[in-house]
Amino acid sequence: MHRSLTRGGAVAALGVALTLGAALPAVAQEEVTLRMWGLVNPNYPEFIEQAAEAFKATHPNVTIQFEETPNEAFKTAIQVALVGSDPPDVFFNWAGEDSARLVRDGLVLDLTDLAMAEGQFGTTLSDAWLSTLTVDGRIYGAPTDAVTKYFYYNTRFFDEHGLTPPTSFGGLLQLCRDIRAIDPEIVPLPLGNSERWKLNHYITILNERVMGNDALRADYALTASDDQLFTDPGYVTAWGKVLELQQAGCFQDAPNATSPEVSRTMFSSEVSPMIFCGSWCMSIFDGEGFTDYALFRFPPVEDGASDGNSNMVVPQGLQVSAKTAHPEEAVAWLTHLTSPEMAKLFAQLRGALPSDPSLLGELTEATPQFLWTANDMASLATQYNVIDVELEASVANAYLDSGVEILNGTMTPEQAMESIRAAALAAKAAQN
């Protein structure tokens, strides 16, 4: 009797356990912690926190552990971490040479099969977006958003003095002169180039405005022949345009000693009426309580090859370490982050253009500046990456150093291009 009861109890317990097991799969699921690294950006931790909370609904066993690092430190930290034994599972990266190099070195997981499974991000994002983190036809990351550059201008100042956004490069120069004529102490367009990359954004766009995007491709990819590499006189012309901006009084005296933060503050505190700033600057200005601004695109250069319906657009996204122990969960997380709902939340919190813009029309708290930017980016005929992401590192470094020297007057545009061409030839020789 006792034995039969025991046996019956065991069978019943097994039945209950099986039933519970079927009803509560999470009980059997392994607890997973996904470590994610990203850049320090306004509102980004809040976005990740809310996204992780929503992710719990479908993946209750997955915990997201997010760590943020400032821009320059991140570039080093992620390389060291990826070759180490404990890299993050998911990490931010810029599309272009930065991500391609990590792919070549085998540090990034090929996500193609997982991403192309039904419902995953490879089937929901557009091919154009997917291509930004695709290498040799394989998907190595989920593009999340893109940043670009615009001139921001103080609408109150412009209205007060009857100024209008320029439609040509010459008009931009005249605008600087007009602002100086109002008050010589006003810096029309502060430039914070102490970290070198600010001027690189100018020269990225000026190269395209002068020579056109197609003319640059072979040089940037180092596939042009040795006798042609970076010899187009348009490069010297583009540097000359930087000098024209300087001579028109657009910049302050010491751009190489001014930090990007100070130059931004000069605009948001209304000391200066314009600034050339990234699309990410909107959330910074809004956060500082300055909203009396509008934007215009870098105008076309007279006699240039570009009509100006183009802009520097830097796609960025998330990649997965080749050493991750949780590839399925990582891809599910990327799919969640790039879903229309999360893209909408991202746009709302960050003021940035997400890779899935399908729900942007539903945004109730979008600023007019953000909506203008989203529309403008959607209307671009041509997009191209920034030089320091697109070029081989030593060539990009030569560009960065040359920019500093040109602003300081210690190098002419011709000398700058000699230096850049020498770096390009050396880099090309090293690649071969």
Q: What residues make contact with other proteins under the rule CB under 8 A?
A: 72, 75-76, 79-80, 82-83, 101-102, 105-107, 187, 190, 194-196, 252-259, 262, 266, 393-394, 397, 401, 404-405, 408, 410-411
Two tokens, residue 248: 């028109």
- The CB-of-407 to other proteins minimum distance in angstroms stands at 8
Residue whose token pair is 């993946």: 59
What's the min distance (Å) between Cβ of 180 and other proteins?
Answer: 16
Amino acid letter at 26?
Answer: A
> Residue 62 or residue 396: which is nearer to other proteins going by CB?
396
Query: What is the nearest approach in angstroms of other proteins to the Cβ of residue 431?
Result: 12
Pick the closer one to other proteins by CB: 124 or 252: 252
List C-alpha distances in Å: 210 to 219, 229, 275, 306. 15, 17, 21, 7
How near is the Cβ of 100 to other proteins at its closest, in Å?
12
Distance CA 192, CA 194 (A): 6
Query: Which are the contacts of 73, defined by CB distance < 8 A and separation ≥ 6?
Result: none
Number of residues written out for the chain: 432
Tokens of 38: 């990203």
Q: What is the C-alpha separation between 367 and 378, in angstroms, rounded?
A: 17
N-terminal to C-terminal alpha carbon distance within the chain: 85
Q: Quick one: DSSP state of residue 22?
A: H
Minimum Å gap between C-beta 248 and other proteins is: 17
Task: Decide if 87 contacts 321 (C-beta within 8 A).
Answer: yes
Q: Return the number of the residue (215 or 422) whose C-beta is nearest other proteins.
A: 422
Closest to other proteins by CB, 75 vs 138, is: 75
Smallest gap from Cβ 201 to other proteins, in A, equals 17
Rounded CA-CA distance 341/358 in Å is 9
For tokens 């070549």, name the residue: 104
Gap between the Cα atoms of 358 and 218, Å rounded: 35
Least Å distance, CB 318 to other proteins, is 18
Neighbour count for residue 146 (Cβ, 10 Å) = 20
Question: What is the nearest approach in angstroms of other proteins to the Cβ of residue 266?
Answer: 7
**Interatomic CA distance for residues 279 and 371, integer angstroms:** 11
Query: Closest CB to other proteins among 48 and 400?
Result: 400
Please identify, using beta-carbon distances, which residue of 266 and 374 lies nearer to other proteins.
Answer: 266
